[in-house]
């Protein structure tokens, strides 16, 4: 099941045509919702923050997953570190498909002065099962829709989110 998921993620990354960017060239506004998951006008996952600061479940889940897996290298709240870029900034120009591809397959950047390697996380269910959540959280950070703290209020986890998580994690 995980192998199929990785293949699908790589295929989406390779063949996606129109993908929204988190900056002004792609509007992150939620225009559609299915089972608590919000999408922008191009069908990419996005965040929703209520007037009272309540975030959607996936933004909240993305915060939790980011801080359990990604912050070790990329710093708290997507702000970067001395050896990994600030994902808050990367998602201002990185498409959803590119994000999926890098997270699933990794990336190696070599210059004359340094070598940066992002390992592949496509086989790690603690990341691969939550790539949309992490993307949504970082997209919200890139657009300054949420601050550098744990969201205080969030929507409830939908039954669809529970089923998807159980299926991906191999739970019955």
For residue 10, name the pLDDT band (cuts at 50, 70, 90).
very low
Q: What is the pLDDT of residue 1?
A: 53
Tokens of 57: 């479940």
Q: Express each pLDDT in 74-125 by its tens digit.
A: 988 888 888 788 888 888 888 999 999 999 999 887 777 777 788 999 999 9
Tokens of 100: 């999926």
For residue 26, name the pLDDT band (cuts at 50, 70, 90).
low
Q: What is the pLDDT of residue 136?
A: 95
Q: Express each pLDDT in 32-75 by its tens digit.
A: 999 999 999 999 999 999 999 999 999 999 999 999 999 898 98
- Is residue 17 classed exposed, middle or buried when 0-12, 13-18 and 19+ CB atoms within 10 A define those classes? exposed
How large is the angle between the packed helices 57-65 and 159-169, nearest 10 degrees? 30
Question: What is the CATH number for 90?
Answer: 1.10.760.10
Tokens of 63: 């915060």
Whether pLDDT at 12 is above 50: no
- Cβ-Cβ contacts under 8 Å for 24 (sequence gap 6 or more): none
For residue 18, name the pLDDT band (cuts at 50, 70, 90).
very low
Number of compact structural domains in the chain: 1
- Is residue 149 classed exposed, middle or buried when 0-12, 13-18 and 19+ CB atoms within 10 A define those classes? exposed
* Residues of the domain holding 77: 2-169
For residue 11, name the pLDDT band (cuts at 50, 70, 90).
very low
Whether pLDDT at 9 is above 70: no
Whether pLDDT at 21 is above 50: no
């Amino acid at each position: 099941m995980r192998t199929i998921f990785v293949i699908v993620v790589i295929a989406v990354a390779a063949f996606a045509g129109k993908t929204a960017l988190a900056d002004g060239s792609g509007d992150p506004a939620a225009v559609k919702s299915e089972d608590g998951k919000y999408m922008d006008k191009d069908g990419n996952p996005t965040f929703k923050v209520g007037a009272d600061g309540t975030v959607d479940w996936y933004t909240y889940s993305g915060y939790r997953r980011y801080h359990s897996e990604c912050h070790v290298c990329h710093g708290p709240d997507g702000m970067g570190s001395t050896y990994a870029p600030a994902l808050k900034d990367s998602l201002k120009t990185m498409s959803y498909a590119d994000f999926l591809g890098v997270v699933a397959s990794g990336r190696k950047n070599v210059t004359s002065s340094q070598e940066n390697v992002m390992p592949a996380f496509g086989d790690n269910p603690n990341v691969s099962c939550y790539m949309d959540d992490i993307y949504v959280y970082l997209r919200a950070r890139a657009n300054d829709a949420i601050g550098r703290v744990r969201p205080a209020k969030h929507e409830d986890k939908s039954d669809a989110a529970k089923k998807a998580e159980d299926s991906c994690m191999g739970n019955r």
